[in-house]
């Protein structure tokens, strides 16, 4: 797919494109998921958008309704009958345009609905595929579309005054840590969320500090710095592949055995789980999130942590990392190693509520009012724990909480688990 | 073995309600209603036992519950019929048998006296007629005899 | 048979035969009981009959086995003799009458002529129409012609037995004589069907008695059967019904359940779909009925009973059976056929889906090169 | 040929054939679509994640603790009428005899009076289900002809069945004929609507559960 082939959001929905995208995507698994729905509506009760608003249109499976309709009309066994008798109408441009709000503004692709469905349908997987089709229709939200296009072309979602490479070195100088950059060979290749570069430089420094403490050979690569993948958010499947390829190529170039992802949830989904499929073969290195990497090092005895100052914290589980990614125990093991008392929220681990910013929603301006309503659900759970400190391990979640802190004038500020680890490091071999 | 009762069959009785078969209890409560009505001068009534789905056990149970009363009438008309007043006053157990002695009707009548026992006025009129004729012929014969004696 | 007392009313006839009024009331009470009429109807009927004239009855037998007539003769209440001697004038019946040949035929002609428009016509047996009616003839006339002629002067027709009512066994597949029930041939006369193979004796005499006493066709069901006898199913009135409700079923004819008198549903009892008075009137003067003797009802009073599958397969079971074909095997064949056809459709559907996918991914290729 | 004869003779044969055809058609139509290979490294061994898939088949039968508060009652309602239906379909002696005549084997049944109680309860639950579908805003939004027709035809089977056993509303054989006829219609409708979930539910849970477990994700 070339850039020219994709319609810009400005020119209105392209139904044929959407359907083509969907037809391409539909395989036996998704078809089975679409076939299985019994319209019980139970998925609504897992979704924080529905819980916050009680508005039935936010029922997760309703968000893929046009594509269910298209599947039944075009691909399913009964498609000829549906077409012959007109039981299922053709999806219209208006309908698709209306669904933009449901597929982007009001869905974080957090996957909580996939856990409640009594038919076992992975609703989140369907939504991701529907986003692909929406992108083909030219219906990706402008913010996501532009960032994705920019990142595909330049490697950065947005242009910056100084290149990220330079900013990275400046952060190293400011925090007094060495930033390993563009080594030709390294065990571990590092990357960084541009959110951290711009908003949370301390997190970048923490990553560098932890790596140097562990003494593992590692490097950032100028041509594959950014961990985020706006292609994933926008539903631009091929752009997502191209963006992932930058990191994959660089990891191969420096013969890395591990591609270490920073605290960034969707980067984990994009690279840990989806990159190889888009690449078309298995990746020649492993992909780990820094959280699970540190937990592994801890278990291996290579990482030694001191008792932390914080007494009580609560931990926000990033959906992509924990619920959808399986990194559930790692953050808790790290906290335990630092003797931090963890007050769990009512819904935690795999059942945690999304912060409301995932799936690119934090970047969609028109989604903000609705996002604040869902944030109230999350804030209530956090406040109910009574813990004064909120920790998380995803910079997008952190950004969302910070945004809420300003909006609600909330008394909690999110902190990074990685930073907490970095500030409680013992020198190798000293032991607690 | 000529009759059903000669064949050894064990019949498990139907569900019992407080010691009484369901059918028996129904008949008894119907009887109570009819009795109260007839006692106040209301219309008499008859229950055809054949129309009720009752097991032989039920029938025996009903009969023993009602008991035997003071009056027992036997009717010899085209076979023998028995009319037995039960222990319940005004409730009659009526069995009609044909000439072969087979039961052709079995009824419970609730009445002062079963209608069939009453002589019909038409028959009485006819009997009176016959009696008069017989009397007349005997008179004649008597008269003739007297005459003969006198003469 | 002579019409020796054609001018006498019934009451006078009775007196001549030495039957008292009480005896007659008793006779009518028994008849009412047998007919499951309200008990007060017996004395009322007696009252009415006293002053009625005896109607003429003509009994014709067609394609039949005489079982129905045998049953007729075994009626306890009223007995056939008492009917014939007291209530009706049976003017033609080829089984009973002493006359034969021309004498019999002329008796029939005379009866039809003398009571034209008034006589009750009883038909026993189905009416074969194949071979120009040649499968059943008497005196050179086919049954179908005799029926048409006799029906002209009939006040009403009573069909005794399942053959004349519904065609019965001669009518069963493959119906070699092209036999039909009376109602398929005569349509302009009131018809009362007294079905059963044979019908219950008391139901035959009772229906006849009821018709001649009231002169009216009784309440009939959709198969033209008197509701008084055919109003409820065997199952409804069965003394084994409590076991059905409790779910206690005999599984074979000699198991513990059978000895305990449990429900015979599983052994193919057709009681639930059979309308007849067997469970109440019973047979042999109220002695018993098939279910009481341990055998399920075979549904003989229902139309087409012979063609409704095995007498021993349960009612709720399918009735696909022709000899030697088991249902499971047929199910397997049907399923295999369905699966095969569904598989072809499915492969076609999935194939077209994949083709579309291929086309959209390779827009420049005119034809797919691999699958 | 009377109605009963048709319903359980040719009618049933057609229904069984259509049922098998439709079910196969629908399943094959999507099962033969492309299945993309997964190239990412699984977190768990294949044995472990396939096992997790199997476990999901059972565990998804009841909501996770976190969801019970919001969905427990609704799911309980759903499952309980299903249980009632299974009890009535599989444990009523006439039904067992019917199935035996089709498949050649049988099993013991429950007393008919107990079945009657269960079916009346199930019927009540079924009405509640419709009430819920109509009054619950989410369900009303999602519902289409399929949902209501599938409800209707199942209800019809239940009502005619109950009427036949209770002898209400007509002669037994006509009610029985209508009952079997409605089963025929249900069998023929089955592959064309949501009733197919009977075939989908366990494989769907297993496959999605296994795919989630492959990533170590919550399932």
Q: Where are the domains of chain C?
A: 10-225, 234-307, 328-371
Please state, in angstroms and as integers, the Cα–Cα distance from residue C347 to each residue in A191, A425, A427, C350, D195, following that order. Answer: 47, 61, 64, 5, 22
Q: Do chains B and D touch (3 or more CB pairs under 8 A)?
A: no
Asked if C346 lies within 8 A of A77 by C-beta distance, the reply is yes
> Which CATH code, of 3.40.50.2020, 1.10.3720.10, 4.10.480.10, 3.30.470.30, is assigned to C234-307?
4.10.480.10
Domain residue limits at D108: 3-214
Domain boundaries, chain B: 13-115, 119-151
Q: Is D187 inside any structural domain?
A: yes
Residue C367 pLDDT class (50, 70, 90 cuts) = low
In chain D, residues with a C-beta closer than 8 Å to the C-beta of C341 are 21, 24-25
* D103: closest chain C residue by CA: C328
Give the neighbours of chain B: at least 3 Cβ pairs within 8 Å. C
| C304 vs D: CB within 8 A | yes
CA distance C194 to C159: 6
| C371 vs D: CB within 8 A | no
Rounded to the nearest angstrom, the minimum Cα separation between C328 and chain A is: 29
- Residue B9's pLDDT is 52
pLDDT in tens, C142-169: 999 999 999 999 999 999 999 999 999 9
CA distance A4 to A7: 7
pLDDT in tens, C27-46: 888 878 776 677 887 888 78
- Can you tell me which residue has the tokens 């209440």? C77
Helix, strand, coil percentages (3-state) for chain C, rounded to 5, are: 45, 15, 40
Q: Which of D57, D194, D219 sits opposite A39 (nearest CB)?
A: D194
Q: Which CATH architecture has domain B13-115?
A: 2-Layer Sandwich (3.30)
In chain A, residues with a C-beta closer than 8 Å to the C-beta of D71 are 42, 45, 116
Q: How many inter-chain contacts (A to D, CB under 8 Å) are there? A: 175
Catalogue all structural domains in chain A, each as residue range(s) with its CATH number: 9-140 (1.10.1060), 152-298 (no CATH), 302-422 (3.40.50)
Q: How many inter-chain contacts (B to C, CB under 8 Å) are there? A: 99
CA distance B140 to D212: 126
- Residue C246's pLDDT is 80
For residues D141 and A59, the answer to whether their CB atoms sit within 8 Å is yes
- Residue B146's pLDDT is 65
**Percent of chain B whose pLDDT exceeds 70:** 79
Give D 160-199 residues with CB within 8 A of chain C: 167, 171-173, 176
DSSP D136: S
For residues A19 and A72, the answer to whether their CB atoms sit within 8 Å is no
DSSP A261: E
- Residue range C57-63: mean pLDDT, rounded: 94
Q: Do chains A and B touch (3 or more CB pairs under 8 A)?
A: no
Residue D219 pLDDT class (50, 70, 90 cuts) = confident
- Residue C371's pLDDT is 43
**Percent of chain C whose pLDDT exceeds 70:** 92
In chain A, residues with a C-beta closer than 8 Å to the C-beta of D136 are 41
> Which DSSP string do the residues of D16-41 spell out, in sequence order?
HHHHHHHHHHHHHHHHTS--PPP-SP
In chain C, residues with a C-beta closer than 8 Å to the C-beta of B46 are 39-40
B132, pLDDT greater than 70: yes
- Residue C2's pLDDT is 42
pLDDT in tens, B94-116: 999 887 787 888 899 999 999 88
State the helix-helix crossing angle for A123-136 and A65-74, rounded to 10 degrees: 80
- Residue C325's pLDDT is 58
Asked if C20 lies within 8 A of B48 by C-beta distance, the reply is no
C48, pLDDT greater than 90: no
Quick check: helix, strand or coil at residue C137?
Answer: strand
| C357 vs A: CB within 8 A | yes
Residue C120 pLDDT class (50, 70, 90 cuts) = very high
Q: Which of these, D30, D39, D49, lies nearest to D191 by C-alpha position?
A: D30
Chain C interface mutation, best of D4, D24, D117, D168, highest count of C Cβ atoms under 10 Å: D24
- Residue D8's pLDDT is 84
Q: Which of C19, C30, C260 sits opposite B96 (nearest CB)?
A: C30
Residue C202 pLDDT class (50, 70, 90 cuts) = confident
In chain D, residues with a C-beta closer than 8 Å to the C-beta of C349 are 25, 28-29
Q: Is D219 inside any structural domain?
A: no
If residue A151 lies in a helix (H) or strand (E), which one and from where to where?
helix A142-154
Give the neighbours of chain C: at least 3 Cβ pairs within 8 Å. A, B, D
- Residue B6's pLDDT is 61
| B149 vs C: CB within 8 A | no
- Tell me which residues of chain A have a pLDDT lower than 50: 1-10, 431-432
Asked if C354 lies within 8 A of D34 by C-beta distance, the reply is yes
Asked if C356 lies within 8 A of A23 by C-beta distance, the reply is yes
Tokens for D140?
Answer: 């009303």
Exposed, middle or buried: residue C337 (CB in 10 Å: 0-12, 13-18, 19+)? middle
Asked if C349 lies within 8 A of A76 by C-beta distance, the reply is yes
Rounded to the nearest angstrom, the minimum Cα separation between B48 and chain C is: 6
Asked if B78 lies within 8 A of C20 by C-beta distance, the reply is yes
Asked if D24 lies within 8 A of C339 by C-beta distance, the reply is yes
| B125 vs C: CB within 8 A | no
| B120 vs C: CB within 8 A | yes
In chain D, residues with a C-beta closer than 8 Å to the C-beta of C233 are 171-172
- Residue D80's pLDDT is 95
Give the β-pairing of C141-142 and C137-138: antiparallel
In chain D, residues with a C-beta closer than 8 Å to the C-beta of A35 are 26, 30, 196, 200
- Residue C47's pLDDT is 78
Higher-pLDDT residue of C370 and A241 is: A241
Chain D interface mutation, best of C317, C347, C352, C356, highest count of D Cβ atoms under 10 Å: C317
Between the CA atoms of C195, C190, C147 and C75, what dihedral angle is there, to the nearest 10 degrees? 40
Q: Which of B15, B46, B53 sits opposite C280 (nearest CB)?
A: B53
- Residue C285's pLDDT is 75
3-state secondary structure chain B: CCCHHHCCCCCCCCCEECCEEHHHHHHHHHHHHHHHHHHCCCCCEEEEHHHCCCCHHHHHHHHHHHCCCCCEEEEECCCEEEEEECCCCCEEEEEEECCCCCEEEEEEEECCCCHHHCCCHHHHHHHHHHHHHHHHHHHHHHHHHHHHHHC
Asked if A24 lies within 8 A of C345 by C-beta distance, the reply is no
- Residue D183's pLDDT is 96
End-to-end CA distance of chain C: 93
Least confident of A73-77, C239-243, C320-324: C320-324
Fold agreement between C10-225 and C234-307: no
Residue B15 pLDDT class (50, 70, 90 cuts) = very low
If residue C128 lies in a helix (H) or strand (E), which one and from where to where?
strand C127-128
D139, pLDDT greater than 90: yes
Q: Which of C26, C43, C285 sits opposite B77 (nearest CB)?
A: C26
* C333: closest chain D residue by CA: D17
Exposed, middle or buried: residue B138 (CB in 10 Å: 0-12, 13-18, 19+)? exposed
Q: Give me the CATH code for the C10-225 domain, please.
A: 3.40.50.700
Around Cβ A425, how many Cβ atoms within 10 Å? 18
- Residue A6's pLDDT is 47
Asked if C260 lies within 8 A of B98 by C-beta distance, the reply is no
DSSP C65: -
Q: Do chains C and B touch (3 or more CB pairs under 8 A)?
A: yes
In chain B, residues with a C-beta closer than 8 Å to the C-beta of C77 are 98, 104-105
Give C 227-266 residues with CB within 8 A of chain A: none
- Residue C324's pLDDT is 47
Rounded to the nearest angstrom, the minimum Cα separation between D148 and chain A is: 11
R_g of chain A computed on alpha carbons: 22
Chain A interface mutation, best of C360, C361, C362, C364, highest count of A Cβ atoms under 10 Å: C360
In chain C, residues with a C-beta closer than 8 Å to the C-beta of B78 are 19-20, 23-24, 26-27
In chain B, residues with a C-beta closer than 8 Å to the C-beta of C22 are 75, 77, 116
Total tally of structural domains belonging to chain D: 1
For residues D19 and C336, the answer to whether their CB atoms sit within 8 Å is no
Asked if B104 lies within 8 A of C21 by C-beta distance, the reply is no
Phi, psi of C238 (to 5 degrees): -75, 135
| C345 vs A: CB within 8 A | yes
Read off the CATH number of the domain in which D45 is found. Answer: 1.20.950
Query: CB-side exposure of C90: number of CA atoms within 13 Å?
Result: 19
Q: Which of these, D190, D163, D204, lies nearest to D15 by C-alpha position?
A: D190
In chain D, residues with a C-beta closer than 8 Å to the C-beta of A277 are 36-40
D70-74, long-range: CB within 8 Å, 24+ apart, which pairs?
A: D70/A45, D70/A51, D71/A42, D71/A45, D71/A116, D74/A40, D74/A42, D74/D132
Phi, psi of C130 (to 5 degrees): -65, 160
End-to-end CA distance of chain D: 55
CA distance A68 to A75: 10
Quick check: helix, strand or coil at residue C233?
Answer: strand
């Amino acid at each position: 797919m070339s850039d020219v082939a994709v319609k810009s959001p400005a020119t209105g929905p392209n139904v044929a494109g959407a359907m083509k995208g969907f037809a391409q995507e539909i395989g036996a698994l998704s078809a089975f998921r679409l076939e299985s729905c019994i319209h019980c509506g139970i998925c609504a009760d897992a979704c924080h958008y529905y819980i916050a608003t009680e508005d039935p249109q936010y029922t997760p499976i309703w968000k893929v309704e046009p594509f269910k309709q298209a599947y039944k009309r075009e691909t399913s066994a009964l498609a000829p009958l549906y077409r012959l008798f007109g039981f299922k109408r053709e999806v219209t441009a208006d309908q698709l345009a209306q669904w933009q709000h449901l597929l982007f503004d009001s869905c974080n692709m957090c996957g909580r609905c996939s856990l409640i469905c009594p038919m076992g349908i992975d609703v989140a997987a369907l939504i991701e595929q529907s986003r692909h089709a929406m992108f083909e229709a030219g219906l990706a939200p402008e913010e996501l579309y532009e960032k994705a296009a920019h990142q595909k072309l330049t490697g950065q979602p947005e242009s910056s005054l100084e290149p990220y490479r330079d900013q990275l070195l400046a952060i190293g100088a400011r925090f007094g840590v060495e930033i390993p950059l563009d080594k030709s060979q390294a065990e571990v290749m590092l990357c960084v969320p541009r959110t951290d570069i711009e908003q949370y430089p301390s997190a970048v420094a923490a990553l560098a500090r932890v790596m140097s403490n562990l003494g593992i050979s590692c490097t950032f690569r100028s041509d594959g710095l950014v961990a985020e993948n706006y292609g994933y958010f926008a539903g631009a499947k091929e752009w997502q592949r191209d963006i992932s390829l930058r990191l994959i190529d660089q990891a191969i170039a420096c013969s890395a055995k591990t591609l270490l992802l920073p605290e960034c949830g969707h980067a984990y989904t994009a690279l840990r789980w989806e990159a190889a499929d888009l690449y078309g073969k298995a990746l020649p290195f492993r992909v780990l999130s820094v959280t699970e990497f540190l937990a592994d090092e801890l278990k291996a005895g290579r990482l030694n942590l001191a008792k932390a100052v914080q007494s009580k914290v609560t931990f926000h589980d990033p959906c992509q990392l924990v619920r959808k990614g399986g990194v559930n125990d790692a953050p808790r093991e790290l906290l335990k190693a630092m003797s931090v008392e963890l007050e769990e929220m009512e819904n935690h681990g795999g059942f945690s509520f999304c912060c409301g910013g995932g799936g690119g929603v934090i970047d969609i301006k028109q989604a903000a009012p609705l996002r604040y309503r869902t944030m109230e659900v999350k804030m209530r759970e956090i406040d109910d724990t009574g813990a004064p400190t909120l920790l998380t391990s995803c910079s997008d979640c952190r950004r969302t909480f910070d945004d809420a802190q300003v909006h609600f004038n909330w008394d909690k500020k999110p902190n990074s688990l990685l930073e907490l680890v970095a500030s409680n490091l013992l020198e190798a071999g000293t032991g607690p | 073995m000529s009759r059903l009762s000669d064949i050894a069959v064990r019949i498990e009785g139907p569900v019992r309600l407080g010691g009484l078969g369901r059918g028996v209890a129904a008949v008894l409560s119907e009887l109570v209603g009819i009795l109260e009505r007839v006692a106040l001068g209301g219309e008499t009534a008859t229950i055809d036992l054949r129309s009720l789905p009752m097991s032989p056990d039920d029938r025996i149970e009903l009969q023993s519950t009602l008991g035997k009363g003071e009056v027992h009438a036997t009717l010899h008309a085209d076979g023998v019929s028995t009319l037995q007043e039960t222990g319940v006053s005004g409730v009659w157990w009526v069995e009609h048998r044909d000439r072969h002695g087979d039961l052709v009707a079995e009824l419970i009548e609730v009445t002062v006296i079963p209608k069939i026992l009453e002589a019909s006025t038409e028959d009485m009129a006819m009997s009176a007629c016959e009696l008069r004729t017989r009397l007349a012929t005997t008179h004649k014969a008597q008269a003739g005899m007297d005459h003969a004696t006198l003469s | 048979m002579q019409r020796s007392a054609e001018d006498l009313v019934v009451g006078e006839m009775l007196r001549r035969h030495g039957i008292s009024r009480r005896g007659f009331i008793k006779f009518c009470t028994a008849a009412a009981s047998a007919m499951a009429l309200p008990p007060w109807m017996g004395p009322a009927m007696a009252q009415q009959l006293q002053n009625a004239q005896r109607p003429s009855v003509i009994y014709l037998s067609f394609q039949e086995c005489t079982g129905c007539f045998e049953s007729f003769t075994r009626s306890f209440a009223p007995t056939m003799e008492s009917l014939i001697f007291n209530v009706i004038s049976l003017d033609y019946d080829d089984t009973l009458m002493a006359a034969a040949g021309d004498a019999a035929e002329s008796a029939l002609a005379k009866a039809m002529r003398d009571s034209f428009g008034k006589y009750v016509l009883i038909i026993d047996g189905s009416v074969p129409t194949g071979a120009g009616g040649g499968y059943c003839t008497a005196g050179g006339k086919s049954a179908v012609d005799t029926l048409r002629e006799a029906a002209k002067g009939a006040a009403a027709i009573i069909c005794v037995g399942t053959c004349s009512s519904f065609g019965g066994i001669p009518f069963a597949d493959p119906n070699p004589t092209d036999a039909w029930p009376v109602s398929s041939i005569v349509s302009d006369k009131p018809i009362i069907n007294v079905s059963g193979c044979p019908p219950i004796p008391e139901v035959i005499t009772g229906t006849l008695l009821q018709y001649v006493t009231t002169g009216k066709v009784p309440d009939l069901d959709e198969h033209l059967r008197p509701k008084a006898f055919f109003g409820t199913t065997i199952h409804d009135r069965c003394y084994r019904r409590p076991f059905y409700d409790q779910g206690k079923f005999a599984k074979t004819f000699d198991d513990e359940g059978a000895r305990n008198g449990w429900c015979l549903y599983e052994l193919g009892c057709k009681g639930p779909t059979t309308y007849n008075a067997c469970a109440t009137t019973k047979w042999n003067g109220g002695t018993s009925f098939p279910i009481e003797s341990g055998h399920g009802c075979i549904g003989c009073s229902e139309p087409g009973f012979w063609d409704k599958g095995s007498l021993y397969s349960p009612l709720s079971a399918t009735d696909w059976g022709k000899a030697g074909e088991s249902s499971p095997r047929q199910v397997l064949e049907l399923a295999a056929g369905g699966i095969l056809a569904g598989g072809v459709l499915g492969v076609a559907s999935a194939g077209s889906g994949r083709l579309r996918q291929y086309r959209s991914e390779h827009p420049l290729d005119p034809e797919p090169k691999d699958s | 040929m009377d109605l009963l004869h048709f319903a359980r003779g040719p009618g049933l044969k057609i229904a069984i054939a259509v049922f098998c055809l439709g079910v196969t058609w629908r399943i094959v139509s999507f099962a033969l679509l492309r299945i993309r290979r997964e190239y990412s490294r699984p977190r768990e061994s294949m044995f472990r994640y396939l096992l997790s898939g199997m476990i999901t088949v059972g565990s998804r039968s009841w909501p996770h603790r976190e969801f019970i508060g919001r969905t427990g009652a609704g799911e309980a309602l759903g499952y309980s009428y299903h249980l009632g239906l299974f009890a009535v379909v599989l444990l009523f002696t006439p039904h067992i005899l019917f199935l035996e005549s089709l498949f050649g084997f049988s099993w013991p049944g429950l007393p008919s009076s107990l079945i009657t109680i269960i079916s009346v309860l199930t019927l009540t639950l079924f009405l509640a289900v419709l009430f819920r579908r109509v009054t619950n805003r989410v369900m009303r939004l999602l519902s289409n002809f399929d949902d209501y027709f599938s409800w209707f035809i199942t209800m019809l089977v239940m009502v005619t069945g109950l009427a036949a056993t209770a002898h209400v509303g007509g002669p037994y054989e006509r009610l029985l004929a209508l009952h079997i006829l409605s089963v025929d219609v249900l069998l023929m409708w089955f592959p064309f609507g949501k009733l197919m979930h009977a075939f989908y539910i366990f494989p769907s849970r297993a496959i999605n559960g296994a795919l989630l477990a492959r990533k170590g994700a919550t399932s």
